[in-house]
Structure formats: structure tokens, C-alpha cells
């Protein structure tokens, strides 16, 4: 039976975005649109499953991990290397990996980063349309995992969405230039894919499989009279003045066991409404904590700070602006929480507690009587 195509349109100040898909569920179930403060691309798909720009329940995020993992090819040649794209898809990649790794005897998860750490660099690549273009990927410290990366025959590359397929192609090209030229199968994974299979044309060599929850096509009609937005200076890939004190046990230096240590002293009552906030790329362990609290019966939502500059309007109802906790001196943002109220807010970071901007803490105190900074060492 042929599924009727649905059309999703949003008019922004800089133009009009049209998305078409034959998915049976309304597209608003998966995402909304916002305006980027970025002259290179004026719009942003704001996921309702990611836990980044819209606070959502951990159980919703977990269901998306399970749904994607169930779609992965079961016969991928091993070792299988999973790579998640910073900063937005780091948690998504870890969740998909946790759900999928039982299917593979030899696998490893790596995440790209914009926060240089002590390690051996595998490659660099660019996300050309992004607010922060440069990504770094490191070799795992652990010899067994490094060996799996060196001999990987399958790549599972994970991002939150695809519009052109360029980021996947750029990453594969960088890995190939770094010596990874023996890949038999590449799987490009997204929550939403609007690229119309462009990745298939841009990657030459391995078999390519596309996996997503929603697929379709998009078109952008720019407003020729619109002023180009001015983007804050967030395109920084550098080590900041503040040291990362958190253990690198969730992706930057490779993992194959993603049940990381979580904060055991935090508990929630079933009557509580709780918000757990991750910071920048540090989202997987905070997500596990949020999931634990939700399983205790509380009404829990997960979100994260971001360096992505987005205008208020459409999917973005509120924003808190503050300075990053890595000592880079760049603006960071947390979206869609300032207009809400919570019983408790837990802000989780991999840097010392004093690295958190007091402006952020004061803003959080306006939405909750209990605000606690949780550091991981």
C-alpha cells in the first residue's frame, strides 16, 4: 500500500524550509525547526528524541536507540567501529552502541571531539556547514580496542541528521587517508535523513547502508532580502584553560563497555519533576543517571548545554546564555528550560564544579529550588 507523502513547511526570517516524507507518523513527532545564528546554513532540525535542545524523557531517548540498533545490518564484517559525531550525536552514538554491541564479538565505540585530550590522534575532519567545523578523533588507549580500530572492516558512523551527506563523506575520507582503507561495509546512521541517499554517491569503495528513523527530502527557498545572521565565535577546537578531570571512559579514547560509572548518591522520589543536564560532549554518563532516576518513578527530563547558536522562535522557546566550562571563553547555551519549573536540577560536568559559570547557576536557581552540580572524576 502506497503511503501518502506528508509535507512539513516552516517560514523563517531567512527563507522557507519544506520537508516531505512518506513516514506514517506526523513529522512533528520527531523534530521541529529553528533558525541558526549561522550564515552558512540558516535552519536547524531540532530533534525531539535527542535530549540536546529540547528536554525529553530518557525513556524516549532509549527507545530511539533500540529502534536504530534494530535496523542495523546483522552480518557486518568484524571488527566493527562505531563513531559518534561531536557534540550533538555523542550520546546518540553511545546509546545505539550499547543496544547493538551484543550482536558483534569485536566492536569499539569512538566519538569525535572538539576538546583535545592526551592521546594519539587518528584523524581530523570537517563538518563544513557547522558552527564549529573541526573534529578530532583519537586512537583508543587500550591495545585491544586500538587493534580493533586498526583492523576494522565495518564502520557505523552516527550523526543526528543528514541533509547533504557531506559530513559522512568527509569523515570517511579522513579515515581512509589515515590508513583505514580496508573497510568493506559503511553504515550511515541518523535519526532523520533528508539527504536522498546522497551519501551513496559520495563514498566510493565499501558497501554503504543508510539507517534512520525518518527519511525524506528537503528544499530551502531563501529570502533574498533577509539579513545574514551574525554567528557568535564558537568555532574553536582547542584545549581550554580548565582541565578535564572526568575519566575518559565513554568515547573519546574508545570503549567497548558503555555501562559507565554513574552517580550513586542521587535519588529521586516518584512525586518529583527532575531535570538532568549534560554539558557539551559530556552527556552519556549524565543520561545514564537520568535514566536511573526515571526508573525510580520520578518525572525526569534530560537536556544538555550546547555551543550551537540558535535564535529564539519556532522550536526554541527560551535560552540561557553563559560562558563554557572548559575555559575556552566561548558562549554556551541551554535551550527550552528557562520557561519551565522543576523540583530538582542536576548539572553534570567533567570539569571542576567551580568551572561552571555563576550566570548559569543563577538562571537554574530561578527554575528550581534544588540545583546541584555533579562532577565526575
In angstroms and rounded to an integer, the radius of gyration of the C-alpha atoms of the chain is 20
| Positive or negative torsion for Cα 224, 17, 160, 291 | positive
Q: How many residues does the chain have?
A: 377
Q: What is the structure's pLDDT at 316?
A: 96
| pLDDT given at position 130 | 46
The values of phi and psi at residue 46, to 5°, are -100, 110
pLDDT at 202: 85
H or E, element range at 67:
helix 58-71
The whole-angstrom separation of Cα 220 and Cα 293 is: 41
- C-alpha distances (whole Å) from 244 to each of 103, 125, 142 are 33, 23, 19
Q: What is the pTM of this model?
A: 0.94
* pLDDT mean values, one per 10 residues, the chain (377 residues): 78 89 92 81 88 97 97 96 94 96 96 92 72 80 95 96 89 92 95 88 90 93 77 72 91 80 78 97 95 96 94 94 95 97 97 97 98 90
Q: Are the C-beta atoms of residues 268 and 293 closer than 8 Å to each other?
A: yes
Joined together, the cell numbers standing for residue 165 give 551527506
**Three-state SS at 50:** coil
> What pLDDT is recorded for position 41?
73
Residue 11: CB atoms within 10 A of its CB come to: 13
| pLDDT at residue 230, as a whole number | 66
Q: Domains of the chain (ranges plus CATH)? A: 14-222 (3.40.50.2020), 273-375 (no CATH)
Say what the pLDDT of residue 367 is: 98
Amino acid at each position: 500500500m502506497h503511503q501518502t507523502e506528508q509535507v512539513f513547511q516552516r517560514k523563517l526570517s531567512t527563507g522557507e524550509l519544506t520537508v516531505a516524507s512518506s513516514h506514517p507518523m506526523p513529522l512533528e513527532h520527531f523534530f521541529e525547526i529553528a533558525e541558526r545564528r549561522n550564515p552558512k546554513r540558516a535552519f536547524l532540525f531540532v530533534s525531539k528524541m535527542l535530549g540536546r535542545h529540547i528536554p525529553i524523557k530518557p525513556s524516549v531517548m532509549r527507545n530511539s536507540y533500540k529502534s536504530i540498533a534494530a535496523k542495523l545490518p546483522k552480518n557486518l564484517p568484524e571488527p566493527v567501529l562505531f563513531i559518534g559525531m561531536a557534540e550533538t550525536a555523542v550520546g546518540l552514538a553511545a546509546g545505539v552502541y550499547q543496544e547493538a554491541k551484543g550482536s558483534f564479538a569485536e566492536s569499539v565505540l569512538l566519538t569525535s571531539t572538539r576538546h583535545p585530550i592526551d592521546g594519539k590522534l587518528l584523524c581530523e575532519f570537517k563538518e563544513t556547514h557547522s558552527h564549529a567545523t573541526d573534529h578530532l578523533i583519537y586512537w583508543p588507549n587500550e591495545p585491544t580496542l586500538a587493534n580493533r580500530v586498526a583492523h576494522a572492516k565495518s564502520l557505523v558512523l552516527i550523526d543526528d541528521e543528514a541533509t547533504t551527506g557531506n559530513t559522512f563523506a568527509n569523515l570517511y575520507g579522513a579515515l581512509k587517508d589515515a590508513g583505514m582503507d580496508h573497510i568493506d561495509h559503511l553504515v550511515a546512521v541518523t535519526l532523520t535523513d533528508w539527504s536522498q541517499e546522497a551519501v551513496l554517491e559520495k563514498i566510493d569503495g565499501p558497501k554503504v547502508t543508510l539507517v534512520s528513523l525518518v527519511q525524506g527530502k528537503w528544499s530551502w527557498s531563501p529570502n533574498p532580502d533577509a539579513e545574514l545572521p551574525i554567528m557568535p565565535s564558537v568555532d574553536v577546537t582547542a584545549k581550554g584553560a580548565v582541565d578535564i578531570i572526568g575519566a575518559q571512559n565513554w568515547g573519546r579514547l574508545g570503549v567497548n563497555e558503555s555501562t559507565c560509572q554513574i552517580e550513586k548518591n542521587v535519588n529521586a522520589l516518584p512525586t518529583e519533576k527532575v531535570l538532568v543536564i549534560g554539558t557539551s560532549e559530556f552527556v552519556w554518563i549524565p543520561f545514564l543517571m537520568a535514566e536511573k532516576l526515571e526508573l525510580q518513578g520520578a518525572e525526569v527530563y534530560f537536556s544538555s548545554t550546547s555551543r550551537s547558536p540558535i535564535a529564539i522562535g519556532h522550536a526554541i522557546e527560551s535560552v540561557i546564555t553563559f560562558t563554557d566550562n572548559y575555559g575556552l571563553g566561548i558562549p554556551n547555551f541551554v535551550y527550552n528550560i528557562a520557561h519551565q519549573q522543576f523540583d530538582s536540577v542536576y548539572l553534570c560536568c567533567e570539569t571542576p564544579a567551580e568551572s561552571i559559570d555563576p550566570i548559569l547557576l543563577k538562571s537554574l536557581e530561578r527554575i528550581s529550588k534544588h540545583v546541584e552540580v555533579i562532577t565526575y572524576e
